[in-house]
């Protein structure tokens, strides 16, 4: 079946520190991979995506590379800011070619707190 495993939080960093949040997945077929971010009291925002092996998704200084050999999609940022404090969710989509399903499977989320 399909599942996503994220590193346990919370993660606490000082401003300008390097961030890594680990994500591994189990999937049948060829999933697309996503990182979503959730700020307090809000819904989910798509942060970045990758649709095939070796693709690198990037946005707002965050990056993640789709590694099929290690079934991983780790999120990284070189220099975090206080405004990056949020919960980060790794997710995969099981949409097969020709299918309209595309349900998302989420990890449990990782709380990031950045101190000034």
Q: Between 80 and 109, whose beta carbon lies closer to another protein?
A: 109
Element (H, E) at 51: none
Q: How far is the CB of 26 from another protein (least distance, A)?
A: 15
Q: Which residues bind another protein (CB under 8 A)?
A: 4, 32, 36, 42-46, 49, 51, 89, 91, 93, 95, 99-109
Q: Between 49 and 77, whose beta carbon lies closer to another protein?
A: 49
> Would the CA dihedral through 67, 73, 44, 85 be positive or negative?
negative
29 Cβ neighbours under 8 A, 6+ residues apart:
94, 96
For residue 79, the tally of other CB atoms under 10 A from its CB is 11
Q: How far is the CB of 115 from another protein (least distance, A)?
A: 22
Q: How far is the CB of 80 from another protein (least distance, A)?
A: 22
> Would the CA dihedral through 95, 100, 106, 111 be positive or negative?
positive
Q: Between 78 and 102, whose beta carbon lies closer to another protein?
A: 102
28 secondary structure, DSSP code: S
Q: Between 5 and 17, whose beta carbon lies closer to another protein?
A: 5
């Amino acid at each position: 079946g399909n599942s996503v495993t994220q590193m346990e939080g919370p993660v606490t960093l000082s401003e300008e520190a390097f961030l890594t949040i680990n994500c591994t997945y189990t999937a049948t077929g060829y999933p697309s991979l996503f990182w979503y971010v959730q700020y307090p009291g809000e819904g989910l925002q798509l942060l970045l995506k990758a649709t095939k092996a070796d693709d690198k998704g990037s946005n707002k200084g965050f990056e993640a590379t789709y590694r099929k050999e290690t079934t991983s999609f780790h999120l990284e940022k070189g220099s975090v800011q206080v405004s990056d404090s949020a919960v980060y969710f790794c997710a995969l989509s099981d949409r097969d070619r020709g299918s309209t399903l595309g349900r998302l499977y989420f990890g449990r989320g990782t709380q990031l707190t950045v101190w000034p």
